Amino acid sequence: MELLLSDILWAAGMGLLGAVLFAAIGLVSGTDETTTIAPLTLLVVLLGVPPAGVFTFFLASAVAKHMTHAVPTALLGIPGDTMAIPLMQQAGVLRNLGVPHIALRKMVSGAIIAAFVSVPLAVLFAVLLAPFGPAITKAAPWIFVAAAVIIAYFSAGRWASVVALFPFVLVIVALQGLTAKFGVKLSISYFLGIAIGPLVADLFSVLSPVDRKRIARDKVRSFALAPDVKSWGGYFPNPFKVLDASQLRWTLGTAAISSATFVFSPVAMTVLLGEVVGSRVRHVYHRMTTVLTARNGVTESTYIAEALIPLIAFGLPLSPVAAGPAAPLFNAPPRFTVDAATGQVNNLHNLMTSWEFLGYGLLAVVLAALVSYPFAMNYARSAAALVARRLSHEAIIATFSGLILVIGVWEGGLMGLLVILAIGLVGGLLYRTLGFNTGVQFMGYYTAVLTVPALTKLLGV
Amino acid sequence: MKTGQLIEVWGDTVDSVHLGWAMAIGCAISLGAFLLANHILAGLVAAPEMARAYSMLVGLAGCLVSGAVCARLFPPKREVIDRAADPAWRETLMAELRSEPGGFGRLADLPAPTVAELKEMGLYDLFAAEEAAQDAGRDAGGRKAALHGVPSPSPDALRSEPAARGARA
């Protein structure tokens, strides 16, 4: 009993910390989920926080961030993070109509409702899939390579991404061989390299006289910050009143669907389900607001499901979210490990029951909702103005350069740093030129660590 | 401080000289904090794993400190203007909405709460006027096409789309 109470206190404390931290980070554009949530979750794991605290921290962070990312997206027309990019077009139209606060409120309300729906559904789907767990764990190397090919085909690069998997996996295998010679084994450095790739590639472009012409600008970017209109009393507006009946139905429906489809890219799911909703709404204004509501709901539900289902059912990171931002929940040596050779896992999958995942999952959503939702509803405009006027992009890049250095040196000294740079440059350029996106690259990493050893064993080489 | 060239890096505009300094500061403070903590904690904390985890915490705090320092030193290269949407924009916007693949739709199809929402924001009349203009245009265009036996080109196709912006995904 005392143990349970202490677990709950840890979960509540860590969840609140994650929610507050990431409600603030969500306001800053360019703070991609993998580069922010993954290192901090890793830190929480390594500091020895109990499993319930680790899990609640991760989930509350993701849910809080996907509510406040709507603030820069709606008010300034800058995507809050990667998941906010599919929201840009509709948010832009409503901003030009002079009603960005409507866009914001619809998005945040969609998010909170979808998050609450998604946790129990994701746990349910995981429990239904769990009986296949042992079989899937056994076949993991082959399932990962199949998932990598499917995710690659559905990326913007299509067949180019599928074929690019081969050289990309080869580069990772080669780098692992190289670092092994020095007795260094890396994992988070690869994730960070992949996630930060677009920045690394852009920094190389700055240095190159050939590519610098492409990125040169003659004037600063101009943003119009629209006025805010508050049309409710009190501090905590009712999300069910912000949405109309059909928007509520679409949010619930798309949240339910995206809670089941856990192997696809979360950005692709957000785009796709938004298109489905958009094709069913006839009036253009109603279409814009409904698509925004449903899409931001999907940014929550798809994240929750993609982290929860593989974690509960298999313990293997079998989705782009699980392989990327949620990676430290699966693999954070020496505490959490996935053994490539035997498929043996030792992580939150073994340390928590389905009921605990459900309970702490709902706790995380409640905490994120209590922090992020009223904040985004009440202080959106002043927060967006503060970030846009005070926080230079140079400062953001300085922070992430420091992050690359600290994580790289922490994990593998100079070797870690070189791996982040190499993977970042290769991955970032492939993303920019071929549309070989980060989700595919994460799966490529798992193909290298799980499939390649199994393949060499099978071939007896 | 000396300024360089404006360039777009990672989705926003920066000054090339400021960027160089910011990265130098970011790397120095973060790595400095991490290495210093690693050196000090190695002697203080018994378990080496924990000492390294705490050093990482200090290093990440260093990242935030360097971000704050750079935010003080280098102003944003953005122009943020407080303003409501320009009425002149609405015309171009309506043109864009007319060319939406899903169609413009009719106010009569809308549920009551949405109609109330539009009225509250003063947008109802705008959409109603656009709908009326479209109906009138369609009648006239239809007659003309029947007279000449050729479909008339839509004027919308010639207008630009103001909100179309490049997104990376």
* Whether the predicted pLDDT of B66 surpasses 70: yes
* Whether the predicted pLDDT of B138 surpasses 50: yes
**Residue A284, domain member (yes or no):** yes
Contact B100, A90 (CB under 8 A): no
* Whether the predicted pLDDT of B135 surpasses 90: no
Pick from A452-456, B65-69, B128-132, B160-164 the range whose average pLDDT is largest. B65-69
Mean pLDDT value of segment B44-55? 86
In A142-265 the beta strands, taken as DSSP E runs, fall at: 221-225
Distance from CA of B149 to the nearest CA of A (A): 30
Within 8 A by CB and 6+ apart from A42, the residues are A188, A328, A332
User: What tokens were used for A71?
Assistant: 């603030």
User: Which residues of chain A lie closer than 8 angstroms to B120, CB-CB?
Assistant: 231
* Whether the predicted pLDDT of B169 surpasses 50: no
Give the one of A79, A220, A399 whose C-beta lies nearest to B63's C-beta: A399
* Whether the predicted pLDDT of B33 surpasses 70: yes
Give the one of A212, A225, A403 whose C-beta lies nearest to B80's C-beta: A225
Rounded Cα distance between A264 and A277, Å, is: 18
Cross-chain Cβ contact A388/B52 below 8 Å? no
- Other Cβ atoms within 10 Å of A89 Cβ, number: 17
DSSP letter (8 states) at residue A115: H
Rounded Cα distance between B112 and B109, Å, is: 9
**Residue A224, domain member (yes or no):** no
Phi, then psi, of A332 in degrees rounded to 5? -145, 75
**Residue A230, domain member (yes or no):** no
> Domain boundaries in chain B?
6-73, 87-158
pTM of the prediction? 0.86
Rounded Cα distance between A283 and A293, Å, is: 15
Give the pLDDT of residue B134: 83
Phi, then psi, of B13 in degrees rounded to 5? -85, 135
**Residue A263, domain member (yes or no):** yes
Burial of A429 (0-12, 13-18, 19+ CB in 10 A): middle
DSSP letter (8 states) at residue A340: T
Q: Look at residues B17, B119, B44 and name the one whose alpha carbon lies nearest to residue A392.
A: B17
Alpha-carbon Rg for chain B in angstroms:
29
- CA A387 vs CA A72, A278, A390, A391, A393: distances in Å: 9, 32, 5, 5, 10
- Other Cβ atoms within 10 Å of A169 Cβ, number: 22
Rounded Cα distance between A325 and A34, Å, is: 4
User: What tokens were used for A108?
Assistant: 């945040």
Q: Which domain holds residue A177?
A: 2-212+236-459
Where is pLDDT greater, at B88 or B30? B30
Give the pLDDT of residue B50: 86
Number of H helices and number of E strands within chain A?
22, 3
User: What tokens were used for A210?
Assistant: 């050939």
Residue type, A64: A
- Other Cβ atoms within 10 Å of A241 Cβ, number: 10
Nearest CA in chain B to A335: B49
User: What tokens were used for A343?
Assistant: 């498929």
Surface of B (102-131) touching A: CB under 8 A: 102-107, 109-111, 113-114, 117-118, 120-121, 123, 127
Give the pLDDT of residue A232: 63
**Residue A227, domain member (yes or no):** no
Cross-chain Cβ contact B81/A224 below 8 Å? yes
First to last CA, chain A: 53
What digits encode the pLDDT tens for the residues B73-90?
999 998 888 766 666 677
The answer to ipTM > 0.90 is no
Rounded Cα distance between B123 and A271, Å, is: 27
Domain count of the fold of chain A: 1
**Residue A219, domain member (yes or no):** no
Within 8 A by CB and 6+ apart from A356, the residues are A52
DSSP letter (8 states) at residue A422: H
**Residue A176, domain member (yes or no):** yes
Cross-chain Cβ contact B76/A202 below 8 Å? no
Contact A198, A431 (CB under 8 A): yes
User: Which residues of chain A lie closer than 8 angstroms to B168, CB-CB?
Assistant: 85, 198
Give the pLDDT of residue A416: 95
* Whether the predicted pLDDT of B158 surpasses 50: no
Q: Look at residues A202, A252, A233 and name the one whose alpha carbon lies nearest to residue A428.
A: A202
Rounded Cα distance between A354 and A121, Å, is: 12
Mean pLDDT by 10 residues, chain A (461 residues): 85 96 89 89 93 97 94 85 88 84 91 96 94 84 88 89 96 96 90 91 94 91 72 75 93 94 84 91 93 95 94 90 92 84 83 95 96 89 86 93 94 95 96 91 89 88 68
Give the pLDDT of residue A44: 94
Distance from CA of A240 to the nearest CA of B (A): 12
Helix (H) or strand (E) holding A51, with range, is helix A51-68
